[in-house]
Amino acid sequence: MASPTSTFRSWIGLLTCCVILIELLTFRREEGKFLFVSYPSFHRPKLKNIFRYEAQLATAERIQKLPAKQDNRTSFSSGTRSHKGVCIIQVLYWNGPKMLSLPDGKYYCPAVNCEVKFTTKASYDALSTSHVVILHHTGNWNIPQLERYRPKGQMWIYMSRESPPHSRHGRVPNVFNWTMTYRSDSDFPISYGIYKDYDEESQRPSDLQSGSKNWANGKTKLAAWISSNCKGPSWPRALFVKNLSRFMDVDMFGRCGNKKCPEGESCFELLRPYKFYLAFENSRCSDYITEKMWRNSFIYNVVPVVYGTGKKDYEKLAPPNSFIHVSDFPNISSLVAYIKLLNKNDSMYNKYFEWKYFSYIDQQRENRVITKETLCSITGKLRDCTLWSRNSHSNCSNFHTSLDMNKMWFDTCHESSPLPLPV
């Protein structure tokens, strides 16, 4: 019979071998402010605890308050709102257009007590250690390849301000959790513009203080249209403009017309002498209202004649009584007759600018759609949905579930054939 001493030594030897084997298979490392666990390459990585405390928890009593380690990034549910620790979130913008004004760096979101590490430096290491990945529709990405490095629980955001027919990758598989688009029902809307009320009377420009400006003064031309895309995928836009020009004066700038437009903002300065602008979208998709209305018309004080999405979408998003919708008229003749009536009646024309005495346009330029506020909104939704482990929060309906991209994005457009109005 083996002696107690030899038995004890055998157990110690066996235990030592087990520890060495575990260490060979699993390596722990602290990288930045996240705590990760690395697995052999044949395992999919799982993000671990994403809480980090600002100060060292030096006492055993404080150490006991640390949230338990979790199997994946939904570990926010293990924390409580009373924790003094700052959560750390990494957001990766993967190979999108290099036009963002927001630099890479760390941003603190006081409302949720979280720090966001934002990076545009795409790499598979960054992909495998990020909590949220933003995929721009024009970016250079391959879904099957990216999924090989996607940790369990990682949230993907589909980003686009173009209409679905102009999405570079076409229809994509249902691998996205959230959207960042022009749609008002997106998880993170990035529209081309919004109108906001003045907070105080003093905010109004001096020429609007009286409330009786004649917006027709100095306008000597009737209507203008600027376009470089003559063959829209949804409807024959250029043909419709040509039909209008048979009955009223329309100056056409760009590739689709006979008038040249300078580069940049100088082109749109040419619109100031006009009373009307043909703000016809190239695609007829829900909520798709672009700079044609927000900038070309509203910023340069021209009444937009609009066509694209339905009138209800324009009423939902645009200032009240600020536009003329083509669908309100039975034919081109009646539309032209109404435009000519407004051209002769300054009082009627000025009613389309009454909203300017109370509100203003905030343009959402492409390079400013991702801001610190955007990152904090993403972080807030991520944190809220994971803090409430049962997803009772109203914004958590799509959390960790893939969206039906066809239903909510690609199938939201429709065609108009052959023209929106008969002659």
As annotated, the active-site residues are 162
Strands 105-109 and 114-119: antiparallel
Q: What is d(CA 334, CA 261) in angstroms, rounded to the nearest whole number?
A: 30
Let me know if 4 is exposed, middle or buried by CB neighbors in 10 A (0-12, 13-18, 19+).
Answer: exposed
Query: Which one, of 203, 33, 199, lies nearest residue 106 by Cα?
Result: 33
Q: How long a stretch of residues is the chain?
A: 423
Q: What is d(CA 409, CA 324) in angstroms, rounded to the nearest whole number?
A: 27
- Kindly report the three-state secondary structure assignment for every residue of 144-157: HHHHCCCCECCEEE
Q: Which tokens belong to 191?
A: 């529209």
Q: State the sign of the Cα–Cα–Cα–Cα dihedral 156, 157, 160, 163.
A: positive
**3-state class (DSSP) for residue 223:** strand
**Amino acid sitting at position 88:** I
Q: Which residues of 357-379 are buried (b: 16+ CB within 10 A; e: fewer)?
A: eebbbeebeeeebbeeebbbbbb
Cα 265 versus chain centre, distance: 24
392: phi then psi, degrees, rounded to nearest 5: -80, -15
Cα 3 versus chain centre, distance: 72
Q: Which tokens belong to 325?
A: 């919708």
